[in-house]
Chain A
Amino acid sequence: MKIAILKLRDILLTSIHVDLTDEDALEFQADVLEMVKKTEAKGIVIDITAMNVVDSFMARILNETASMVKTLGAEAVICGMRPEVALTLVEMGRELTGVETAVNLEQGVDKLRELIKRRQ
């Protein structure tokens, strides 16, 4: 399952709308990094509103992707995590640490813009 990564001026938007298998998640991570490098985007918003299940592997992928994007000199914001998902991750002890988060896409983009401004 290929996840589309869209370029919107200087930032990237992507929405994970299906529950990914482990391979898909890894492919997604590679795609994100490739796109960030190719487009020289200043940041990326990863929307996970439609994700019903985030297992520990997916949580790790999200964590890693965010810090990898930062290493490439861009910012990353994850938005739209469902309450059930947040609860499960906390219960599992797999918190997303050091990742910027937002409630919805709108606030996610706002936050990303703010982060980009702060970096410059």
Chain B
Amino acid sequence: MIKITVVLLNIRFYFAFVSILGIGVFLPNISVAQIDTAKANQLQEVKITEYKNSRINLSPTPVQILIGSELKRLNSLSVADAIRYFAGVQLKDYGGIGGLKTINVRSMGSNHTAVFYDGVQLGNAQNGQVDLGKFSLDNLEEIAVYVGQKPELLMPARGFAAASALYLKTAQPIFSSGKKYGFGASFKTGSFGLINPNLSYKQKISNKISFLVDVSYLESNGKYRFRYRELAYDTTIIRNNSDVKSARVEATLFGLLPDSSKWNIKLYNYNSARGLPGAIVSNRFTFTQRQWDNNSFVQASYQNKKSARYNFMFNTKYAYSFMHYLDPEFKIQNGCLDNRYTETEWYISAVNLYKISNIWELSLATDYSLQRLNANLYDFAYPSRNTGLVAFASALNLNRLIIQGNILATLIAEQVKNGDQSANRQEYTPSLMASWQPLQTKDFRIRSFYKSIFRMPTFNDLYYTFIGNTKLKPEYTNQYDLGFTYGHTSNGKHLAYLSIQADAYYNLVKDKIVAIPGNNLGRWTMVNLDRVQIKGFETNIQTVWDLAAQLKLKANANYTYEQAIDISATAFRYGDQIPYIPVHSGSARFGIDYKNLVFNYSYIYTGERYSQKANIAANYVKPWYTHDLAVGVNFVCQQTRFFFNAEINNVFNQYYDVVLNYPMPGRNYRFTLSTNF
């Protein structure tokens, strides 16, 4: 016990130290060989709690984190399912396993969240959205969502360049002492004909080099029942054309150089074929549209030794995405609509961090990317976009006060082969954030941030046949946030951990890019028209209770209140809540760990919304709320450790739409068996 305490103290010190220095915090790997499993688990839990607490509590921007062990027990298949548990986040979900799922943070719009995969952004210049349903949780170690930005200096300039950021971090190869390799396997099955095996293999090539390969396959027929019961009709329909087959292969090589610098190279490929289930409208319940995706990238990172006064980080990436869309119902002269889009991206980033003194740091991050889009469309623009980002940042880490600020310069030049091109752009945007400890206790901090940033119009906004508008300006957001964090860990007490985050915020979205009626009836054109004012309050409470020797309870809750209103000068419905944003939303999770059993209950609530601009009865969308349950057991068979988890989702079989006319599944089941050796 003494030994553990010492270790804990060290960890605490380590976290406090590195966090205060504003350097990235990495989960330290502690050899668990000498301690027995229960204690190891306990230690692991404590470590995780401490780790999360230090990050949440010190962050001047609101951050919410889900870590490996939490992700495992969550009733979730993909990243999209997991982010529903975050406060201030709306998931736009078209239903089923294969339906498009995008994230919207604090109602600024899904184009305003940058998604990072192992530190490098997943770009999409075509429509600016990342489908989170395509990322499984199998190989993820951490999901974190930051409002504003990650409060760090040593990060690529793209990390400064979005109104909010979602970081997905894959598992690192960690070896038990003496072992040179490791296997991981899991198999999921359940409703919708789900078959989802996942395999991973890691190996130590030398003391300095190791690799990890992770492969998964997913298949689902996507069929589920949903029921419409209104007025005098009661109709049950089976969702059709919602099938999906996908495969993901990921291989990463990790290395250490003699001077302790770190590097890694990752290869990624995702391939899928799916049906596109359309909007369920009167008399039309079956669909035939198909989509194929092939996304690949290779990315490499290098970071010099951490403790140096001068830190350097380098990232580069090449990404290739191919999308094929087929609509057999759109009949043209020699066949049907058959669109193919190819997007490529070259990316390179270098970051320099210099510690002037113990309390003062400066950094300069420079990114360059080239994005190109090809399509087999008539008179297509074939746009390419050169983006240069330069972020100059500085942080002051005083005893009780952390202040960080930066200026980001964005330089954009585009070329097209046909038609007009969008003008070159130069934008300068600042952020400023602070976290202050007003009292003697380190547990309570007040924080605040301001950030001004924009999103560029996407290639679709600018160049899509008929609707595109090359005159579009960037869509700006201004965010103001004031809140507090309270985080207290007391090992040995019943209430082992209590964390409260609460923030009030005010956002303004200017020049919002929307579609308006075009120059001929039935056509739309993109314009910078709308203005949205968002006033919100969100809170997130997390607790861990050590109730008895092997009985632990985790209870988390979050709640968001949000007024997101249309204040466009041209608004026909000035002051109405914008579509799909509930005033009230929240979630609650309870987890119980008892010996080798884990139990999980979660509740998600989304209040009433409107599906269109006018807040009238015809556009009213009912609230929805789901209850999910899961029971898991850890067991050992033939000296191998297994985990079996059984889930019931949407226990009360509520039929609901997140997006109007895209029905969500009712009660459904999922079973997971996983192992590591």
A binds B: no
